[in-house]
Structure 1
Amino acid sequence: MPATFKQTFLCRFLTMLFAAFLAAAAGKESIAQSQAIHAIDVSNARQLHKFFQYTGNDIPLISGHRGGMTEGYPENCIPSFENTLRHTPAFFEIDPRLTKDSVIILMHDATLERTTNGTGKVSDYTWEELKKLRLKDKHGNLTEFRIPTLAEVIEWSKGKTIINLDKKDVPLEMTADILEAHKATANVMCTVHSAEQALYYYKRNPKRMFSAFIRTPEELEAYEKTGIPWKNIMAYIGPKNSPEAHKMLKLLHARGVKCMISAAPSYDKLPDSAARASAYREIIQDGTDVIESDLPIEAAAAIRELSPEKAANRKFFRRQELKITKSL
């Protein structure tokens, strides 16, 4: 009898311990799966064009350059995009590149050393080889995060945000093909460095939205000659809040075009956070509509109070519960 009692007690104890462990694990998983993000609610091309239309009464927009470069979160990967969206609405400039076997992945550099624990050229590796690498954050610290494919990011972004594809080594035809395959007209726009690039995409899909380099009157004239409607265009006007940029603001606003300054190569480099915040605010106060930044969370916080109370584009922003499948 004593032996039986001990066995029964031990069995019950172990059962209770296991149940407690499962409950704790379930609670932990539940927390990981219930994270709210700031989503951009755009579901078709018409809404996308409206989102980027200049009205003079809009909430200033934030573009996360390469998704943002926060400590612990590498550039050009989905967890970094999600981290930014937990703090602010944003769309994301990203960098598609080709692997050896023609899979389009996200990677800014042509080589692997700066952003991964790999070495050599991206184009020398297959996707099966690259998917095993781990990404580094901006300080070079190795993380658990992996290189994503462009297809994964396109599908992830639907209903959450807008991605802006920069031009690296992917041919225009391949980019247009993958966007058509994924029906990505509402959630993807293309950075174009010339009117000729924009015209190629426009002929493939007249609903395509562009982030166009229009830094001079001559570049503006080249776009006007293409016949591409201005509603399809957001304009990148340079890295500085300069007199030249202000001149382009007036010309483009008159055409209903929102304008973007990229702080990534300029004001993001200021060593003092107060100086950066002042620069971000000045950009918006002087009339620019969009700030592209390596520090999107910081830039958003600096300009938050500059949003009009009854902004025309407020209807495009909403809170959304984000499901995280990874256990913490």
Structure 2
Amino acid sequence: MKNKLKLALMSCSFFWSLISLALAQQKDFEKLLIAFEKTPSSEQIFVAAHRGDWRNAPENSLLSLKYAIDMGVDIYELDLKKSKDGVLVLMHDRTLDRTVNANGKPSDYTLKELKSFRLKNGLGRTTPHQIPTFEEFLIAAKGQILIDVDKGYEYFPDVINLIKKYEMENQVMVNIDADLPFFEVEKKFGQVPNEIKLMPVINLNQENYQQTIISYKNRKNTIFQCVFKEENKDALTYIKDLQSQGYHIWLNSLWASLNAGHDDDTAVDLQQPDQSWGWLIKQGASVLQTDRPQELLKYLKQQALNH
């Protein structure tokens, strides 16, 4: 009898610990949403993990999502492709060769066939992990982390429908192909719901970058992702002013061609984070996308720039 009572008490304790953990995670996510909806500032930087924590798990996998959440990352960036039978799956490349133990395009296979394959890790070794569908990913991520959908513009209506199905409009942002004005988006897909967060990619080295930005400025739910191979001082002044107008500015430290050399390698390998991440923040970034999320989070904590 005593053993049964002890087991019952242990079960109750475990159950309530799970409830407490879930409530704590919910509060953390609510805090993140509130912070992201505030007027953007270079005093409060959000970290986006490029394809998740791909150094410790296969990129675009549910495991890399878990690790990113556990690490304290704010935004998970993912990529989409479509199976032969029309299901959205997480995949960056046009072929499976680099990231899966199979060859060919995702569209060559049905979802069932894709699920029979296994993802590779960053070293190219096969793991036990499957290719997740976009729907599976949304279910796993709901209420835990912000999501950036890259390479999803080709499937824009399907992406929007799934976001709306799971009522995740406040959690997911959708990239728009580089330098594409908003009127071109609506010309192709019709009116975009105001609650959908859009993130046009803007090349600051293009002459018409201001016109592209202006086409989105009537949309409250717009984040501007700016890339530049070479420094353009006028453009950098312009986007810093955009931030003061209430728009998030998303800059990338992934590789040198996206940030005029102020990249992750400079920050980590050369141990010059102020010349990389610090410089990007000074240009008006409120979001930094990185391949080194753990190191960036540590840097922001040291600089008292995390929320």
Given candidates 287, 301, 304, the residue that maps to 1:304 is: 301
Letter in 2 for 1:282: W
Q: CA 1:150–1:77 in structure 2 vs 1: closer, same or farther (change >3 Å)?
A: same
Map 1:130-169 → 2, pairs under 5 A? 130-168=114-152
Equivalent residue number for residue 262 of structure 1: 252
Letter in 1 for 2:231: S
Higher RCO (CA-CA < 8 Å; seq separation 6+): 1
SS in structure 2 of the partner of residue 102 of structure 1: coil
Equivalent residue number for residue 92 of structure 2: 108
Structure-1-length-normalised TM-score: 0.72
Given candidates 292, 313, 324, the residue that maps to 2:289 is: 292
CA distance in 2, matches of 1:236, 1:207: 18
Equivalent residue number for residue 60 of structure 1: 45
Q: CA 1:188–1:201 in structure 2 vs 1: closer, same or farther (change >3 Å)?
A: farther
Deviations 1:100-144 (A, max 9, x none): 000100000010110011111111001001112111122212222
- Measure how far apart 1:83 and its partner are: 0.8
SS in structure 2 of the partner of residue 120 of structure 1: coil
Q: CA 1:226–1:294 in structure 2 vs 1: closer, same or farther (change >3 Å)?
A: closer
CA distance in 2, matches of 1:125, 1:222: 37
CA distance in 2, matches of 1:168, 1:120: 20
Percent identity of equivalent pairs: 24
Between stretches 264-273 and 97-106, larger displacement belongs to: 264-273
Between stretches 241-250 and 282-291, larger displacement belongs to: 241-250
- Measure how far apart 1:307 and its partner are: 2.8
SS in structure 2 of the partner of residue 86 of structure 1: helix
Equivalent residue number for residue 58 of structure 2: 74
- Measure how far apart 1:59 and its partner are: 2.1
CA distance in 2, matches of 1:89, 1:67: 9
CA RMSD of aligned residues (A): 3.3
Equivalent residue number for residue 201 of structure 2: 213
CA distance in 2, matches of 1:85, 1:160: 7
Structure 2 contact 237–283 (Cα < 8 Å) conserved: no
Structure-2-length-normalised TM-score: 0.77
CA distance in 1, matches of 2:77, 2:181: 19
Between stretches 265-274 and 294-303, larger displacement belongs to: 265-274
CA distance in 2, matches of 1:235, 1:135: 32
- Measure how far apart 1:270 and its partner are: 4.7
Q: CA 1:62–1:240 in structure 2 vs 1: closer, same or farther (change >3 Å)?
A: farther
Q: CA 1:85–1:251 in structure 2 vs 1: closer, same or farther (change >3 Å)?
A: same
CA distance in 2, matches of 1:251, 1:201: 30
Structure 1 contact 136–143 (Cα < 8 Å) conserved: yes
CA distance in 2, matches of 1:37, 1:53: 20
Q: CA 1:164–1:201 in structure 2 vs 1: closer, same or farther (change >3 Å)?
A: farther
Structure 2's unaligned 5+ residue stretches are 1-9, 257-262
1:242 aligns with 2:231: yes
CA distance in 1, matches of 2:282, 2:245: 20
Structure 1 contact 117–134 (Cα < 8 Å) conserved: yes
CA distance in 2, matches of 1:59, 1:262: 16
Between stretches 175-184 and 75-84, larger displacement belongs to: 175-184
Letter in 1 for 2:181: A
Q: CA 1:190–1:234 in structure 2 vs 1: closer, same or farther (change >3 Å)?
A: same
Q: CA 1:239–1:264 in structure 2 vs 1: closer, same or farther (change >3 Å)?
A: farther
Paired residues, what number?
Answer: 276
Equivalent residue number for residue 275 of structure 1: 271
- Measure how far apart 1:175 and its partner are: 1.9
